[in-house]
Amino acid sequence: MELSILDFILINFVSYVFGIGTGLVICLKNKDKLLVKSRSNDNLSLRQFQQNNNQSHYDPPPPPIIAASAPPPDKVPIKITVE
């Protein structure tokens, strides 16, 4: 079975269109789930929530506590210089 140039082009075109269609279907099905959430959407929904509840004052959540994960050193480190 020989493939002519037109058959090769047709196969490539059909696979390209099928791939684009599959990508669009996946995007449309997962439109509400949003793989990457942006902070601007969160801020907008927060503002809408505040406006709906007639809240004029918003206290942001406290920043996370930053603590060292390494244990404190038991001894003073020894510094060695090589000349």
Question: Domain residues of the chain, as ranges?
Answer: 5-52
Query: What backbone phi and psi angles, to 5 degrees, belong to 67?
Result: -130, 145
What are the distances in angstroms from CA 25 to CA 9, 21, 34, 77?
A: 24, 6, 14, 61
Mean pLDDT of the region 55-75: 74
Mean pLDDT of the region 43-63: 66
Mean of pLDDT over the chain:
78
Half-sphere exposure of 78 (CA within 13 A, CB side): 1
User: For the chain, what is the radius of gyration of the CA atoms?
Assistant: 30
The H-assigned helical ranges of 30-77 are 39-52
Higher per-residue confidence, 15 vs 60: 15
Is the confidence at residue 57, as pLDDT, over 80?
no
